[in-house]
Amino acid sequence: MNIKLFQVDAFAQQAFTGNPAAVCPLDEWPDDQLLQQIAQENNLSETAFFVPFEKGFRLRWFTPLQEVDLCGHATLATAHVLFHHLPHLLKDKCSDITFYSNSGELQVQLTPQGICMDFPAVPNKVITAPSDLLSGLKGISPVQVLAGSDYLLVLDSEQQLKEIQPDFSAWVNLDLRGVILTAQGTNHDFVSRCFFPKLGVNEDPVTGSAHCQLVPFWSEQLNKNEFNALQVSPRTGQLNCELKGDRVLLTGLCVDYLTGEIHV
């Protein structure tokens, strides 16, 4: 079996920034074990697979260790591949895509500002932090601790956020997916970093799905619905975000890195 592979830097304006994702178009689904082996071999935070389905495409995402229910940057990368490399698969809908995922239908649109994704918002609740969560911060005390799909820790400043070096071993066995650190930005509305050691991704460069939780939080804090956000990982990545009811609109750009073929 030969499978096309596109590697795309998502939420990026130039190569070697943003979050790299592998995208593999398929005609039909092979065994899940093969999908997981490909994701492990790619060794990127996410590999996306899609097949034509109903009026769009069934989309799935795999980390090197397991399948996940939602991934923003790999969805952005997949849409980029369809819009710019495989437009014949879109038929008459050249600027809109419907993805069918484990998180429901995801609408994606090509706009003059970039590719805009319509994702479900994730509500937050204030919690008492588990001891392992706090120990991973190595003595730094968060301003606030919340939980949604991930733990969300609010820090004092962008500088503190950039300098922190978490103890990932403390976070491997947390019950939620991962840990988001955030602070109000200096030149952006807010900044963040995201960590998913239990998924085999200690620090994710740019995490679209985390912004489904970040945007509702910062909307309450800043009393606004539109944001310019920056994920301050070593690669960095910019996202334009909007809270629209119970949905979060995420807009970003992509840069091609490579195209190839997998032989299995």
Helix (H) or strand (E) holding 36: helix 32-42
Cβ count within 10 A of residue 181: 23
**How many Cα neighbours within 13 Å face the side chain of 249?**
17
Cβ count within 10 A of residue 234: 9
75 SS3 class? helix
The distance of Cα 184 from the centroid of its chain, to the nearest Å, equals 20
Specify the residue for token string 């109903």.
Answer: 54
Tell me, yes or no, if 67 is annotated catalytic.
Answer: no
Phi, psi (rounded to 5 degrees) for 261:
-145, 135
18 SS3 class? coil
Among candidate residues 46, 105, 163, 203, the one labeled active-site is: 46
For residue 263, count CB atoms less than 10 angstroms from its CB and return exposed for 0-12, middle for 13-18, buried for 19 or more: exposed
**How many Cα neighbours within 13 Å face the side chain of 202?**
8
**What does the block give as tokens for 113?**
């500002």
Catalytic positions: 46
